[in-house]
Amino acid sequence: MIYLDHAASTPLDPEVITAMQACWASPAGIGNPSAVTHAYGRAAAEAIEEARVELAALIGVDPQGIIFTSGATEANNLALQGLARGRADFGRHGISSRTEHKAVLEVLQSLSKQGHTISWIEPQRDGRISSMDLVSRLRADTQWVSIMHANNETGVVQDIAQFATLCRERDIFFHCDAAQSVGKIPIEAGKWGVDLLSISAHKFYGPKGIGALYVSERVRPWLVPLMRGGSQERGLRPGTLPTAQIVGLGVAARRARSLRETDTAHLKTLVKEFKQALAALAGLQFNDHPLYALPGLVSLTVEGVQGESLLAALPQLALSTGAACDSTSGEPSYVLRAQGIAPEWAQSTLRVSFGRGNTREEALEAARAISEVVPRLRKRDQPGEPPARGSIPWQVGEAGSIREGCRVRCYVQRDVAGKVHAIEFRAFVCPDVQRVLDELAEVLPGQWVESLKVGTPADWAERHHISAEKLGRLLRVEDALRQACKQA
């Protein structure tokens, strides 16, 4: 299998593994970094401070502004909930965009239920956010703005420096979810005037379960901690720090800083080769920005193919149809819909994210595999009725739509005796529904049209282990079959 889901998580850098193993076996791995009265605790504390310095250097800030968390999700929660609580007496208005990660969106939805007002910015067609749209939503009671640096689905990069400057000029705090961009593109959070910046180690070859929130001195007095129970991390994030994980984060940050230019050149080459290899395949749309794009990430909409079926037909490729956190929902991407992409095609989008270890051969193999399966899948839903089988006309029944992710056309031939002479399905469906169609096409020929023995959609779901969420799609199959048989 070729791993092409680096936007979801990256493999550990070998030097990170070595450093973490060494830490676990050393006094630093034993001691509590808060227990600095003895050598073990001091060793742990020193290892953590070294990592803090490395991470600060990667994003261009003072090391004292780095607060270690369990990842970007916790960092986003601390930044937004902590600031909203700390500034509630001054105003309860904030601004964000419709294309943020759910780790931001769900926090803001929670704040709105607590009496805060959120103004939303819609992206432009290319995914970029206009500074004019931001300014137009600023109010006298606006306390903060939260806009991500690079989108996790499309890789579109925003002008964070401009947004942060606009906020500073108006004494408004600016938060940035930079989980996807840290370690991949240059960041100068201090120079740009960013107040809060969220980081996740496993997005740039570090360990899972560790990240950080950068907190500027300007915003520090206003940030209320989410938890109580200790004075660690300047009182903002209590709890004993995981020394080895933080060491791994520090090494990943150092490696990212030294390899960034090399990585960027490599990833841009892979994307170029990948896209060129797909040039002959019609009905494709690339959603990543031609100029302001995260290196290595390609968002590819494939018209005429159901997203789940496309993934199932590519078992040799580890990729996704969108954000990892949404991969099982079955819903069209809210990010792509916000960019104006029709729902029926938003759910037929692949996110291909290359990484440091991918090769040119793997990029070309991925393009070859996609080019091979797409025509085959489109053939399942080709227009027009099936080729004639004798002189008996086809009768057709149709239900569902591409927009709802399931369209079924059933073609039936009925012989003079009243039996099913032939049956064929043309469908835009997921693999689960396709299995049901294949079974029906096999068992129905020879049965009496007026008394088909096929069971119910509930029976099909149980027999094929299909989740209850897809029962509506199976009802569309039943509707199309009944219509075709009624006409036959």
Q: Is residue 387 part of a domain?
A: no
Q: Which tens digit of pLDDT belongs to each residue from 191-240? A: 999 999 999 999 999 999 999 999 999 999 999 999 898 889 999 999 99
Same domain, 176 and 305: no
In a domain, 2, yes or no: no
Say whether both 164 and 283 belong to one domain. no
Percentage of the residues of the chain whose pLDDT score is greater than 70:
98
Number of domains composing the chain: 3
Fill in the DSSP letter of residue 355: -
Residue 133, class by beta-carbon neighbours within 10 Å (0-12 exposed, 13-18 middle, 19+ buried)?
Answer: middle
Residues sharing a CB contact under 8 Å with residue 102, sequence separation 6 or more, in sequence order: 323, 325, 326
Q: Above pLDDT 90, what percent of the chain?
A: 87
Query: Does residue 371 sit within a domain?
Result: yes
The pLDDT tens digits for 420-464 are 999 999 999 999 999 999 999 999 999 999 889 989 999 999 999
Q: Is 485 a catalytic residue?
A: no
The answer to whether residue 358 scores a pLDDT higher than 60 is: yes
340 located within any domain: yes
Rounded to two decimals, what is the model's pTM?
0.91
Decide if 386 is inside a domain.
Answer: no
Integer-rounded Cα Rg, in Å, for the chain is: 27
Lowest mean pLDDT, pick from 63-77, 321-335, 382-396: 321-335
**For residue range 74-131, what is the model confidence (pLDDT) as tens digits?**
999 999 999 999 999 999 999 999 999 999 999 999 999 999 999 999 999 899 999 9
Residue 85 shares a structural domain with residue 74:
yes
pLDDT of residue 326: 45
**How far is the C-alpha of 211 from the C-alpha of 50, rounded, in Å?**
15
In which domain, by residue range, is 192 found? Answer: 7-256
Q: Are residues 115 and 243 in the same domain?
A: yes
The reply to whether 409 and 290 lie within a common domain is: no
Average per-residue pLDDT for the chain: 94
Structure-derived torsion over alpha carbons of residues 71, 72, 77, 83, reported in degrees to the nearest 10:
120
Does residue 385 belong to any structural domain of this protein? no
Which listed residue (23, 325, 410, 430) is catalytic? 325
CATH number at residue 210: 3.40.640.10
Please indicate, yes or no, if residue 264 is contained in any of the structural domains.
Answer: yes
